[in-house]
Chain A
Amino acid sequence: MDQNLIYQKSRKTSPRSQAKPIMIAEIFPQDLFDHDFQKVRPQMTTISKPIEDVYKFLTDSRHYSGFMKDISHCQITLQRTQELVIWSGTTTDNIKVIGAFAMVKAQAKRGTIVALKFKLDGSLEEIKDAVTKLMLKDSESKAYIILRRLKAFMETGEVPTTEGQPSGRSEDLITTH
């Protein structure tokens, strides 16, 4: 099955046979993205919140620091009501990044399916193919992590962490004199 295919039920029709298929390509309009960005495979999650809440949350870039790690100075560059939010930001390594959240209502009462395409901005065409693929792959991993953190933040109000917990490693040991 095409993993990029999402089925969205119409509100007025419940039988599965009448489900309306929505392609990711429909959510991420091709005319808005360059060739490199087209090649980035979107990552997806389902958030147990209404699409209205998810869209409202994602259109306020001040929220991004709550779930983005190592990316700051985020700003919204384009938004389409309850469909699409495109943003840009800067990594701690001072690399510009661009991302696009797309969203559709999930079936039944499952909330909202959110997809994210994410890439390091720049002239990837100047880089050899193998490296480009690696960077694209890395972008997919980063997008996956961002989505997991977004989901946790929206559903629980916090992002899970163990940073700062004790361990028996040298940096956490207490030496007695």
Chain B
Amino acid sequence: MKALCWEGKHSIQVKNVKDPRILNPHDAIIKVTTAAICGSDLHLYDGYIPTMQKGDIMGHETMGEVVEVGPMVSTVKVGDKIVIPFDIACGHCSHCSDDEYSFCENTNPNAVIADTMYAHGGSALFGYSHIYGGYAGGQAEFIRVPFVDTNSLVIPAGIPDEKVLFLSDIFPTGYMAAENANIKRGDTVAIWGAGPVGQMAIRSAFMLGAERVISIDHYEGRLKMARDAGAETINFDEGDGILDEINYRTGGIGPDSCIDAVGLEAHGHTVTALLDRVKAATFMATDRPDALRQAIQSCRKGGTVSIPGVYGGLLDKVPFGAAFGKGLTFKMGQTHTQKYMKPLLDRILNEEIDPSFVITHKIKIDQSPEAYKTFNDKKDDCIKVIIDMH
């Protein structure tokens, strides 16, 4: 089969590799119909996530048709069209029982690495380094899905892939970010990053009762997409200071909730952002958390900072004194995708939202290496790339 393989920093190649096969009794093999490139794939592309190995198959936003199931699979059937969550959960451990699927304790074969780094590592992820299990990803013509009864959502016939593909990650991630933000009716929510997760978070915040959403980015195409959803926007390349601007727009009290949908590769022109770049380039820091710093500093007293953006290591100059002084609540972490897939599918079927609005590029698999570059360089107004796999 054809698969997109990580060959090193800024190097993705299409390779002809062996087909996957059933390895465990709860596995299934899926013929992938559509996959997407996620913003967090760019952290791999840029070499920010450790323990990638040359030849690893990329991808964690995937859907397709079930073509084979293992002997212990009970609900999913051959022929089902499924969306696959990016996190891999067993469905049996205490965390899965509590709907905390991304904390699953039984799916990461390399748990000892994750536990060494984080004391208690989370679930495995598709196509996202060997810390997270080293599972082959879904930017391939076929994928093996462990515990498929837990890690799938069967899609009714006749629904286009584009409408439901993002149930695999960015829609649940944006929604959980908004849910984590403790939004009450009438609230103001500021969201850093107007990429795909930020866009989903904007719409989810409104769904959950936000009166105002302020979207912060510096790409005009993304800000326009945010305005289309009803958000106010701030281009941080313009004006004197992002914190002053947010303070001004919120009557001097700050947003009730702040969502960092940027993560470890923040752009910006502040002194701390420039310092982050230097430190990252010289291997003195792992993450560039300037969006998080701004979220903490601008949030109102007693507010909530929700962090769907990915962080990987140790963060420098995070204003924790401000967080303490204002009594902020922090919520963060990988999305418990399985918890949100069905209710969000219902919202799609009820026509409350069509997540395909975010798609800017549709390509064939052979065009993918170039698409990675385009997405990474933010060229051609690229916001979301989906790949037709067959």
Residues of chain A having any CB pair with chain B under 8 Å: 46, 48, 110-111, 141, 144-145, 148, 151-152, 155-170, 172-176
Contact = CB atoms under 8 A, between A and B. Distances in A.
21 contacts: A46-B94, A111-B94, A156-B90, A156-B106, A159-B109, A160-B108, A160-B109, A161-B24, A165-B20, A165-B144, A167-B5, A167-B53, A167-B57, A168-B7, A168-B55, A168-B56, A170-B55, A172-B55, A173-B18, A174-B16, A176-B16
Contacts of B1: 166
A48 B92 CA distance: 9
Contacts of A110: 94
Interface stretch (B77-85, B131-139, B180-188, B335-343): B131-139
Chain B contact-residue range equals 35 or more
B112 A174 contact: no
A142 to B, nearest CB: 10
Interface string B66-94: 00000010000000000000000011111
A168 to B, nearest CB: 3
Nearest to A48: B94
Main secondary structure of the interface of B (DSSP, over half): loop
A152 B7 CA distance: 32
Interface of B: 1, 3, 5-7, 13, 15-21, 23-26, 53-57, 72, 90-94, 97, 105-109, 111-112, 115, 124, 133-136, 140, 144, 146-147
A98 to B, nearest CB: 21
B93 A48 contact: yes
B92 A158 contact: no
A160 B16 contact: no
Contact of A160 (B7, B21, B133): B133
A156 to B, nearest CB: 5
Contacts of A144: 112, 115
B23 A168 contact: no
Contacts of A152: 90, 105-107
Nearest to A158: B24
B90 A166 contact: no
Nearest to A169: B55
B97 A164 contact: no
B59 to A, nearest CB: 12
B147 A156 contact: yes
Nearest to A165: B136
A168 B108 contact: no
Nearest to B136: A165
Contacts of A173: 15-18
B23 A165 contact: yes
A55 to B, nearest CB: 19
Contacts of B24: 158-161
Contact of B23 (A164, A170, A175): A164
Contacts of A170: 55
Contacts of B105: 151-152, 155
Given A167-B136, A168-B56, 15 more contacts: A111-B94, A152-B106, A155-B92, A156-B90, A156-B91, A157-B72, A160-B108, A161-B109, A162-B136, A164-B23, A165-B144, A168-B5, A173-B17, A173-B18, A175-B16
A145 B23 contact: no
Nearest to A163: B23
A163 B136 CA distance: 11
A162 B146 CA distance: 10
